[in-house]
Homo-oligomer: A and B are copies of this chain.
Amino acid sequence: MYEIGVVYRNIQRTDPQVASELAPFGSATVHEAMGRVGLMKPTLRPIFAGAQVSGTAVTVLLQPGDNWMLHVAAEQIRPGDVVVAAVTTDCTDGFFGELLATSFKARGARALVIDGGCRDVRALTAMAFPVWSRAISARGTVKATLGSVNIPVVCGGALVHPGDVIVADDDGVVCVPRAGAAAALAASSKRLVNEDEKRAKLAAGVLGLDMYGMRAPLAAAGLRYIDE
């Protein structure tokens, strides 16, 4: 249950080195390394291409059409954080724009992930402040109703606890729980090595059917080849 009207100040962040080292693996690899879990819905898209970040989550729960809590959240940001904003109901309003991005950046935030709308995308692109959002909308918001900061939130269908690691790139956004972050980093690293080997073979013309030993299980499943 969401607790409304509270700000938790002393959250436990994942080790910053682990949090930072997950970025280069990207959301697809990290999500696979964790056993195909933790991914946000593909409705969350980057506002510009090419950004690839990871960092520790500061979470925010917003009310529809109201960005008050993003200002409250700014104070809780520490260098290396990624702000994760959920909304209590589906809303595409532009909760976040250039001014808040200036503040977040000054506080050391690396990115925003918001299950709502974003605006000032040209300025944000120029600032190179990456945002993953469900919409781009010029529509402004009010500051009238409390939400919360640093409570567990559901963003893009994924559960995020404050202090978890967020990994985001052009493929999407994945949340790595704090307790599993080191393991996810190790598994991602191992997975990448495997991928390099596989890539070389496939580029040389080896088929996945042979490289992965799929022919026998496919035949066992009943696959028939027809040459008519």
Contacts and interface: CB of A to CB of B under 8 A. Distances in A.
Interface of A: 1-10, 26-28, 31-32, 34-39, 41-42, 45, 49-50, 52, 63-66, 68, 71-72, 74-75, 88-94, 97-100, 102-103, 105-107, 117, 119-122, 125, 135-140, 142-146, 152, 154, 157-159, 169-172, 174-177, 180, 195, 198-199, 202-209, 212, 214, 217-218, 221-228
Given A10-B227, A71-B209, A145-B221, 5 more contacts: A42-B92, A103-B202, A120-B171, A122-B169, A154-B154
Given A28-B94, A63-B65, A9 B225 contact: yes
A39 B118 CA distance: 14
Contact of A41 (B90, B140, B218, B228): B90
B214 A71 contact: yes
A42 B97 CA distance: 15
Contacts of A145: 65, 142, 144, 221
Contacts of A138: 26-28, 31, 39, 171-172, 174
B209 A74 contact: yes
Given A1-B37, A102-B203, A32 B227 contact: no
B1 A177 contact: yes
A121 B139 CA distance: 26
Contacts of A6: 223-226
A7 B100 CA distance: 34
Given A1-B37, A159-B152, A207 B137 contact: no
Contact of A171 (B38, B88, B136): B136
